[in-house]
Each structure stands twice: as structure tokens, then as C-alpha cells.
Amino acid sequence: MPTVLDDINAGVREDMEARKRLVSLAELKDRAQAAPPAHDAWAVLGGPSASRDELKVIAEIKRRSPSKGDLAAIGDPASLARQYADGGASVISVLTEQRRFNGSLADLDAVRAAVDTPLLRKDFTLDEYQIWEARAHGADLILLIVAALSDAQLAEFSALSHELGMNVLVETHTEEEIERAIAAEARIIGVNVRNLKTLDVDRSVFASLAGKIPAGALVVAESGVRDVDDVRHYAASGANAVLVGEALVSHSTPRDRIAEFKAAGAAAIAARA
């Protein structure tokens, strides 16, 4: 029986094939190679030149989700991105999947023109075309979901992303997927506490899974952030960064919300030291 992920991926493939008929891979490659160099999201999130004493926030521009439906209209993604940047977001995530999340590459273009903050193209990467597409539209970081890819694809897509100067957020949901991410030499590993079959969130699984990730990698907590208590929980359990969408787009002052999350996370990290 097809899972939610299977259904999403089927739509992603259909939409990608339509884009391929409009823009060839060769044309995308030309655009990507002409684009300004990518920002180093690894360094910003906690690589050698950045402190791991503070919790980084990956702030997401997200109009809707399969689990919650419509979240926010977001008529001006560039304005929201500027608020995120002003609030101290280390990375801005832009959802570009159309059918379930109401995102687009036009959103990515608008955000790229508005801020210098590293950008994550948040989508379901299933083909090298999407990687070249991400770089051509100014992304600095892409998402690879272990559950959606083979080991060969993980290795191939990671290598291509790095060749193009981008970093990769490798998303996991289980211990076995973490092992696969480690085998693929992932440096930024996300632990998504949302079950891909039921869409239910279980925040309690984060601590046990985060503990399986090597110390040298960056750990990103994905899904389930409602308030500062959730941020404290993730930070205390080993997160270096949190990816937050709904709690920001539904808030009247997302800039202030990010500052609150960063302060709560830094305190929790200091307490675990």
C-alpha cells in the first residue's frame, strides 16, 4: 500500500517532468554554473568557524502541509525572509513542492533576491535535475530524504551537490536510516520525528536517535516545534539546530519568535555542557 511519501514523490516526479519540457538539463547546468557561488551553510550552522554553544534556527517559509492543511497565505515570501534574517535565522528553508505544500521555485527566487542568508531548497529530491535546478535558483543547501532514496542515490546526489558548492541536509527517521546517512558521509543529519506513514509526531524519539549520530556531524531537529519548551527539549537532547516552519509562519512576529527560540536553545546547550 502506497505511503504518504510515495504519493508525494509521484506528484513531484510529474511536476518535474513538466518542468523538464520547459527547461532542459543542459540549460539548467548553464544557469547553475553562471550563478554566484553558494554560501557555506555547514560553516554557518556549526562547522569549524561557527560556535556550537548556540542553537541555530533554520526558519522555513511554509504555506501548508499534508498534516495540517493551510498554515499561512505568505503573499510576500521575500518580506518574511527578511524578518527571519533580522531575527537571527542561520538558514532560511524555502519549500518548493507545489501540490502538498503550495511552494514554488518562484518563492526561492524571491527569497534569494531579498537576503544573503544561506538558503535550503526544501523539496523531495529524486533526480539530479532538481539538484542543478536548486543551484540555478540560488540554493546553498538541499534536502535528501534517506527513506526516499537508495544508497547509490544518496552517494551520487551528495557528491553532485558538493561539486556544485552546496551542502546537504540528510533527513532520517530511524536508527537504520541514520546508519545509512553515516555510511554516505553525511555531515548535516536531520532527525525528523514525524512518521512518514501516519504523519504523527513523536518528539520523544529525538533523543534516542540523535545519540546515534557521530559527534563531528551537525544534528538538526525536524518537526514538532510548537514553543520554547520544544526547543529546549531538542537542544538538551543534542540538537545543534532546529528546523521550524509552522510555529513561525503562524506567529505575528516571527523575528521575535526566532530570538526567543535561540535564547532558549542556548540556555539548554549550556546546561548540558
Position 9 scores a pLDDT of 93
Residue in this structure with the C-alpha cell 532546529, named with its chain if needed: 242
Give the CA distances from residue 57 to residues 33, 71, 107, 157, 221, in Å, rounded to whole numbers and listed in that order: 29, 19, 20, 25, 10
Q: Structural domain tally of the chain?
A: 1
Nearest residue to 245 via CA among 258, 235, 256: 258
Count of CB atoms situated within 10 Å of the CB of 127 = 16
Task: Name the pLDDT band for 65 (thresholds 50, 70, 90).
Answer: confident
Least confident span in 32-41, 44-53, 109-118, 173-182: 44-53
Q: Determine what percent of the chain is predicted with pLDDT higher than 70.
A: 98
Give the orientation angle of helix 4-22 with respect to helix 128-136, to 10 degrees: 60
Please, what is the Cα angle at 229 between 266 and 62, to 5 degrees?
90
Catalytic residue IDs: 60, 62, 122, 171, 192, 222-223
Task: Name the pLDDT band for 48 (thresholds 50, 70, 90).
Answer: low
Which residues contact residue 17 at a Cβ distance below 8 angstroms, ignoring those fewer than 6 apart?
none
All cell numbers assigned to 196 = 512518514
Q: Specify whether the CB–CB gap between 225 and 251 falls below 8 A.
A: no
The CATH number given to whatever domain includes residue 149 is 3.20.20.70
Distance, C-alpha 70 to centroid of its chain: 19
Give the orientation angle of helix 77-87 with respect to helix 254-272, to 10 degrees: 40
> Across residues 152-170, what is the average pLDDT?
98
Question: Which is more confident, 86 or 65?
Answer: 86
Question: Which is more confident, 161 or 65?
Answer: 161
Residues for the chain: how many in total? 273
Least confident span in 83-87, 247-251, 256-260: 247-251
Which residues contact residue 192 at a Cβ distance below 8 angstroms, ignoring those fewer than 6 apart?
171, 172, 173, 222, 223
Position 69 scores a pLDDT of 81
What is the torsional sign of CA 81, 86, 89, 91? positive
Task: Name the pLDDT band for 5 (thresholds 50, 70, 90).
Answer: confident
- What is the per-residue pLDDT across 196-254, written as a single tens digit (0 to 9) for each? 778 889 999 999 999 999 988 999 999 889 999 999 999 999 999 999 999 999 888 99
- What is the per-residue pLDDT across 69-82, written as a single tens digit (0 to 9) for each? 888 889 999 999 99
Domain span holding position 73: 4-272
3-state class (DSSP) for residue 136: helix
Calpha distance 58→239 (Å, rounded): 12
